[in-house]
Structure 1
Amino acid sequence: MATQRRVIRWTAGLAAAGLLLSACGAEADNGGGGDGDVVLSFVWWGSDARHQNTAEIIDAFEEAHPGITIDPTYGEWDGYWDTLATRTAAGDSPDIIQMDELYLREYADRGALLDLSDVDVSQFEDTVVDSGRTEGGLHGITIGINAATLLANPDLFEQAGVEMPDDTTWTWDDYQQIALELSENLDGAWGSGNFDETLGFQTWARQHGAHLSNEEGQLGFEPEVAESYFQFFLDMMHQGATPPASAMSEDQAVSPDQSMTTTGQVAMRPWWSNQAVALTQSSGADLELLRMPSITGNAQDAAPWYKSSMFLSASAGTEHPEEVQLFINFFVNSEEAARIDMAERGMPPNAEIREMITEELEGPQLKVAEYIEALAQDLGPAEPVPAMGGSMFPDILYRYHDEVLFERMSPADAAEAMHREMEAEIR
C-alpha cells in the first residue's frame, strides 16, 4: 500500500505542478523530516514502469533504513534538463539525480556533483565504472548497462532467402553486401535502415582509433573519420541497400514503436540493446541481436563497449553525502532492488547481480542479457564522458548526416562543418 500511495502522491503532484522537478522537497533542503529523519530528494525521468519500480525500490530502502526518507519527483525526458539546470543554478539541486552521459560532464566540471568514491563498485567491470568518471572523480554510478546492437528481423531474412550472418566475423563490406542482397529480394523493405546516433558514429570512430569525445573533454576525432562514415552511408543509399534519404530522415523523427524496424520495412538497424525488448514486442518479430561489424572481421576489433543507460549522481551541495551514497549503493548492489527493477534500466552493472537476474529472465529480456554477457570477453575501452556541450552532438550529427544523404553537402564538406560546429559547442 505504501508504494500505491506514493505513486498516487507523485502523479498528483506532477499534474498540479505541470512541470518536472517542481518544488522538490523543502524538507530536504534543511535536512529534516519532523522526527529528525534525514530526507533526501531524488529526481528521475522514465516510463510508468520505471516509476513504479523506483517507488518499490524506495520503499524497500526506507524499510531497511528507517532513519532516511526519500522525497521523490519524476517525469519525462522533455523538460527534465532545463528544470534541473534552473534548480542547480539556484542552489536547490536535488540530493540524488538520475543522470545521462550527455550531461554528466556539464555538471561535474562545474563542481555541481559529489565524488561517489565511497559507493561499492567492486563487482563492476572497469569500463562500466570509468564511464562515470571524469578527471575530477567518480561523479556517476551506472545503474544499467547497454551495448550497441544491430537488430535483425529473421522474417525478412527468410523472405529474401538470405542467411543470417556470423556476427563474430563479419566486416562492414559484408554488412553492405548483405543489406544490398536483402533489398534486392524484398518487396517494400530494405536491408538496412539509418543508424541511431550517436551510437553509429561512436562505433565507427572507435574502430578507427578515435572517440566522439576524448578523456580531456575535447573532440576525439578528426574530420576524416566523419567523412568516411558519411561516405559509407551515401554509397549504401546509392546502391539501394537503404531507403531513400526522405524515408530515413522521417524514420529518425518517429518514436521507436513507429520506426521502420517495428513496421518491418528494414531488415537491420542499430539500436541500444535495452530497446530490443520493446521493439521486439512492437514488431511482432523475434528480432535477433547481432554484434556490430568490424573493419577486419575480428570480434575484438569491433570495439564493443558497455554504455551506461543512465547514472545515479549526487549534488555536491548535499548535506547528507553518506546517506546519499548509502542509497545509491543499495540501488546498484542489493538483490532486493535488482529483483524489482530487473532489466528496465538495462542490465544491472554488478556482475554477480546480473548473473542472478539473468537466471530469472526469459524471451527478449533473456536475449538481451545473453548478448551483454557474450560481449564481455571482447570489450574495448570505456567511451569517454562526452565533452561539455556534448548534449548537442546528436542533433548536430543527425543534421549533417541528412545534408549528405540529401546530397546538399559532400561527405568531406559535411565532416569539416560538423567538426567545427561541435568544437564551437564545447565549453
Structure 2
Amino acid sequence: MKKGLLFSLIFILFMFFIGCDSSTTSFNSSIPTISSEDVTFSFSWWGTTDRNVATYQAIELFESKYPQYKISGDQSTWDGYQTTLYNRLERNREADIFQVNYNWLYSMYGEYYFLDLSELGIDFSHYPEMEHDPLTINGKILGLSLSETGYIFYMNKAVYEEAGITEMPTTWDELIQAGQTIGGASGGSKYAIGRLDAQQVSILMFSYLSQKYGKNLISSNNKLNFSREELEEGFAFINTLRSNNVLIPNNTNDTHTNGPTNPNWVIYQNYGGILQWNTAVSEYENELPDTSNLVTLGMFQQNEGEELGMYKKVSMALAVSKRVENDPAKQQAIKTFIEFITTDPEAIRILGVDRGVPSHDTAYNTLLNSTTTDFTSTREWEGHVIVQTLFNNQLEEDINLYIHPYYEHDVFRRIYEMPIEKFLFNQDTAAQAINEIINKFDSTLAQVMGG
C-alpha cells in the first residue's frame, strides 16, 4: 500500500515539473505522435530517370495528404530488376507493393507470392472490361493493370527528308521503296529503319505473318501456329528488308546493343526508325538532338487502309506481397495509395504517361482533359491510340493477337529469339533457324507452362 502511494506521489511530482519546465516543451515536440493508423510500406519499381522523379514526387504528395502513411521507395533500372525481384520473393524480402510485367505473374508463380487484389476492395469497374483477365489466375487477381502496350514504329523524319521523301511510308512495299531511296541517296550508309535486335525482329516477323494469315503465333491450344512454309515466308521477308536498306544486312556491322544511345540513332542519324513498345519510346525520343523529328507511325500494312498485325499486352502492373494478407492496416494504406495515384488529379498529372496511358478511367480522363499539359500529343499517347485501334479492329475480324503470358518467359523466348539472333548475325541460315524453332517450340512451351 505504501509502495503504491509512493509511486503515485513520484508520478504527480514528475508531471508537475514537466509542466513547469519550458525546456521540456521542445523535447516533447520532437517525438512523433504515433497513432494506431501510422503505417510505413515499401514500393519498388524500375524505370527511367523521368519515371523515378515523377514517382518520388507523387510519393511526397501522397505523404503530405496522408501523413499517417510513409512510403519507402526503391527505384531500379530495368536491367537486373526481374532477377532481383525473384530472389527477394524466394527469401520473403520483396517490397510490400511492386511493379511487374504481366507475364511474371506466371513465371514467378504469382499465385503463391502475390496477394489477391480483390481482398483490398479495389473497384475494378474503372478499368476496361476484361483488362484484368490476363492478370487473373485461378480466380485471383494478382496484378493491377497500369496501362497496355504494343510494339509500333516511330520514324526519324529527318533521315527521310534528307533523301527527298516527304511522306512517310504506310505499307511494307512503301517502306522497302523508301529504304532503296535512302540507301541510294546516302551511298548505302543510311537505312529506313536500321538495327533491330532479335526481340524486335521477332515481333516484326510475327506481326507480318499475322497480317497475312490472321492468326496468333501461339494457338489456343498452346502450339506453334505458323507452318514451316509460313515461317520460311517470314524469314524471306526479313531478308528482303535487309537487302533493301531497311534493316542493316548483318548485325555484326553494328555492335551497339543499347538502341536509345546507339550513335547511329543519336549522333550520325543513320537509322530512320525504331520498333518499340509505345510505353517505352521516351528512351529513344529523349536522346535525339531534335525530338520534333520523331514521328509516330504505327504498324506497316500489307495493303493501304488495313489495320492489322498488332500484338498487345498489359504493359506493367502493380502487385502486392502476400505478406500483407495478415496486416489490415498495411492493406488499407496500400489501397489508399493505389486509389490516390489513379484518382487524385495532381498525382495523375505528375505521373503523366511515364508508365503508359493509364487504364483507370479517372486517370485517363484527367490526362485527356488536362489544360496544363497536352498529354495527347505525347508519343506514348499517340502510340496508345494506334495500338488500341488496330487491336480492336482485329477483334472485329475475329483475330486475337493478345500476347501469350509465356511468350516472354525467360526460357521459352530463347526458343525463337536465339535462332533469329544467329540469323541476324549471319551465323545460321533461315532454314537452320526455322528447324530450331519448330523442333523446340511446342515442347518448351509445354515445359514452362507445366512449371
Instruction: Identify the TM-score tier after normalising by the shorter chain.
Output: 0.7 to 0.9
Give the CA deviation at 1:396.
Answer: 5.2
CA distance in 2, matches of 1:230, 1:372: 28
Structure 1 residue corresponding to 2:156, chosen from 153, 156, 161: 153
Length-normalised TM-score, structure 2: 0.74
CA contact (8 A) 1:212 1:386 kept: no
**1:161-172 to 2 correspondence within 5 Å?**
161-165=164-168, 167=170, 170=171, 172=172
1:214-363 maps to which residues of 2 (within 5 A)? 218=222, 221-222=225-226, 224=228, 226-247=231-252, 250-251=255-256, 253-258=257-262, 260-263=264-267, 264-285=269-290, 286-303=293-310, 305=312, 307-318=313-324, 319-320=326-327, 321-358=331-368, 359=370, 360-361=372-373
Q: 2:391 aligns with which of 376, 379, 395?
A: 379
Larger radius of gyration: 2
Shift of 1:271: 1.7
Aligned ranges 1:177-192 → 2 under 5 Å:
177-187=177-187, 188-192=189-193
How much has 1:189 moved relative to structure 2?
0.5
Encode CA deviations 1:73-102: one digit per residue, 9 max, x unaligned: 222233322332222122333221110234
Q: Secondary structure at the match of 2:356?
A: coil
Q: Indicate how the Cα distance of structure 1 residues 249 and 219 shifts in structure 2: closer, same or farther if over 3 A, else same.
A: farther
SS at match of 2:178: helix
Matched-pair contact (CA < 8 Å) for 1:276–1:364: no
Instruction: Check the 8 A contact 2:194/2:247 in 1, yes or no.
Output: yes
TM-score (norm: length of structure 1):
0.77
RMSD: 3.3
1:191 CA drift (Å):
1.7
Query: Is the counterpart of residue 95 in structure 1 residue 96 in structure 2?
Result: yes
The answer for the alignment partner of 1:141 in structure 2 is 144
- Conservation of the 8 A alpha-carbon contact between 1:215 and 1:385: no
Question: How far off its partner does 1:108 sit?
Answer: 4.4
Decide whether aligned partners of structure 1 residues 289 and 393 sit closer, same or farther in structure 2, where only a CA change above 3 A counts. Answer: farther
SS of residue paired to 1:91: coil
Pairing 1:191-210 to 2, within 5 Å after superposition: 191-195=192-196, 197-198=199-200, 199-201=203-205, 203-204=207-208, 206-207=210-211, 208-210=213-215
Question: What is the SS of the residue equivalent to 1:74?
Answer: strand
Matched, 1:403 2:409: no
- How many residues are matched? 389
- Following superposition, the deviation at residue 368 of structure 1 comes to 3.3
Q: For residues 191 and 374 of structure 1, do their structure 2 counterparts lie closer, same or farther at Cα, with a shift above 3 Å needed?
A: closer
Provide closer, same or farther for how the CA distance between residues 262 and 151 of structure 1 changes in structure 2, counting only shifts above 3 A.
farther
Rate the CA distance shift 1:350–1:107 in 2: closer, same or farther, 3 A: same
- How far apart are 1:311 and its partner, in Å? 1.3
1:62, 1:69 within 8 Å by CA — same for their partners in 2?
yes
Change (3 A) 1:392 1:227: farther
Secondary structure (helix, strand or coil) at the match of 2:146 reads strand
Letter in 2 for 1:153: N
